[in-house]
């Protein structure tokens, strides 16, 4: 019996050790490159390089609007690359808003490996580009975060408050959404990254709007509502929408939520 118990214990250690070691392969699902030029996917687009404080050069796309009313920094979710967010950029540029589509380290052919700390540096590089090279006044800057990206921009907004924040399909924190998908695992013990959206938004000194689908099978709708409550913000329900439905990418309610925060 002791040998059997020891064998089971070793197996448990191996399994959980492997999950701990490779957890970020489950969290971050980047699509690589090569990608077309920004001008090929949307007229007037510019290929730009964001310089992070830890020395990385990250490819991004900047879409300046003519006589722009404001600019939007877009932080994507955990999957794909910036090419998937072009419809959102097109919708916002059509409303007179300039858009920066960020690709994190490890995404879209960018160097580096994604971590919570690394993504925080990546969006800071995006903000520095907008207020520096692009000349966007801070009082005309908005943040848009999608799913995991909602946690990224919420943390950014604590240090660098924008004029407004739109969070699309946010979870309360990574462990909470992970536990819904892996109820048989001690997710909170295993994760190295928190992405604590709910905690961050409570400290944001800017208007916050949360947009979410009522049929979301990835992020439970109640978590998105909890984020809106923590922020003291506005919650916009998109009835019947699942996490990756097109209506949550560039639908009217999403674009309206951004537009409503433009000063």
Whichever domain contains 138, its CATH number is 3.40.50.1820
Q: Measured in whole angstroms, how far is the alpha carbon of residue 169 from the centre of its chain?
A: 10
Continuous segment of H or E residues that includes residue 156? helix 148-159
Which one is predicted more confidently, 172 or 187?
172
22 part of a folded domain: no
User: Average pLDDT of 61-79?
Assistant: 97
Which one is predicted more confidently, 26 or 82?
82
Number of folded domains that form the chain: 1
pTM: 0.91
What whole-number percentage of the chain has pLDDT above 70?
A: 89
- Token code pair at residue 58: 């990250």
11 part of a folded domain: no
4 part of a folded domain: no
Provide the pLDDT confidence category of residue 44 given band limits of 50, 70 and 90. very high
- Quick one: which of 92, 42, 97 has its CA closest to 65? 97
**How confident is the model over 195-237, as pLDDT tens digits?**
999 999 999 999 999 999 999 999 999 999 999 999 999 999 9
Continuous segment of H or E residues that includes residue 248? helix 247-250
Q: What is the pLDDT of residue 186?
A: 62
Q: What is the pLDDT of residue 16?
A: 39
Q: What is the pLDDT of residue 1?
A: 57
Output the 3-class SS for the chain: CHHHHHHHHHHHHHHHHHHHHCHHHHHCEECCCCCCCHHHHCCCCEEEEEECCCCCEEEEEEECCCCCCEEEEEECCCEECHHHHHHHHHHHHCCCEEEEECCCCCCCCCCCCCCHHHHHHHHHHHHHHHHCCCCCCHHHEEEEEECHHHHHHHHHHHHCCCCEEEEECCCCCHHHHHHHHCCCCCHHHHCCCCCCHHHHHCCCCCCEEEEEECCCCCCCHHHHHHHHHHHCCEEEEECCCCCCCCHHHHCHHHHHHHHCCCC
The CA dihedral of 130, 172, 93, 91, to the nearest 10 degrees, is: 160
Provide the pLDDT confidence category of residue 56 given band limits of 50, 70 and 90. very high
Average pLDDT, the chain: 91
165 part of a folded domain: yes
**How confident is the model over 89-99, as pLDDT tens digits?**
999 999 999 99
212 part of a folded domain: yes
Bridge-based pairing state of the strands 164-168 and 208-213: parallel
Continuous segment of H or E residues that includes residue 101? strand 97-101
**How confident is the model over 101-132, as pLDDT tens digits?**
999 999 999 999 999 999 999 999 999 999 99
98 part of a folded domain: yes
What whole-number percentage of the chain has pLDDT above 90?
A: 83
21 part of a folded domain: no
141 part of a folded domain: yes
Distance CA 153, CA 110 (A): 20
Q: Which of 15-24, 58-67, 92-101, 222-231 has the lowest mean pLDDT?
A: 15-24
The yes-or-no verdict on residue 73 having pLDDT over 70 is yes
Q: CB atoms < 10 A from the CB of 57, how many?
A: 12
**How confident is the model over 172-185, as pLDDT tens digits?**
999 999 888 777 67
Domain with 41, as residue range(s), is 31-259
The yes-or-no verdict on residue 252 having pLDDT over 60 is yes
User: Average pLDDT of 230-245?
Assistant: 98
The yes-or-no verdict on residue 260 having pLDDT over 90 is yes
């Amino acid at each position: 019996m002791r040998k059997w118990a020891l064998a089971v214990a070793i197996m448990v250690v191996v399994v959980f050790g492997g999950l701990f070691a490779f957890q970020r392969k489950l969290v971050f699902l980047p699509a690589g490159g090569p990608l077309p030029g920004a001008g090929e996917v949307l007229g007037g687009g510019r290929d730009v390089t964001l310089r992070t404080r830890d020395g990385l050069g990250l490819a991004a796309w900047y879409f300046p609007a003519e006589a722009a009313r404001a600019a939007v920094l877009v932080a994507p979710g955990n999957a794909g690359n910036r090419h998937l967010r072009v419809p959102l950029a097109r919708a916002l540029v059509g409303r007179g808003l300039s858009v920066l589509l960020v690709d994190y380290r490890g995404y879209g052919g960018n160097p580096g490996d994604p971590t919570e700390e690394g993504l925080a540096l990546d969006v800071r590089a995006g903000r520095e580009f907008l207020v520096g090279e692009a000349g966007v006044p801070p009082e005309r800057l908005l943040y848009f975060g999608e799913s995991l990206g909602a946690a990224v921009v919420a943390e950014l907004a604590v240090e660098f408050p924008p004029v407004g924040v739109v969070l699309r399909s946010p979870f309360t924190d990574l462990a909470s959404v992970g536990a819904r998908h892996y109820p048989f695992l001690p997710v909170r013990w295993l994760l190295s990254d928190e992405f604590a959206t709910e905690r961050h938004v409570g400290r944001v000194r800017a208007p916050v709007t949360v947009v979410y689908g009522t049929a979301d099978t990835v992020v439970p709708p109640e978590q998105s509502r909890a984020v809106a409550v923590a922020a003291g913000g506005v919650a916009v329900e998109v009835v019947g929408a699942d996490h990756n439905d097109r209506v949550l990418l560039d639908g009217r309610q999403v674009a309206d939520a951004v537009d409503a925060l433009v000063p």
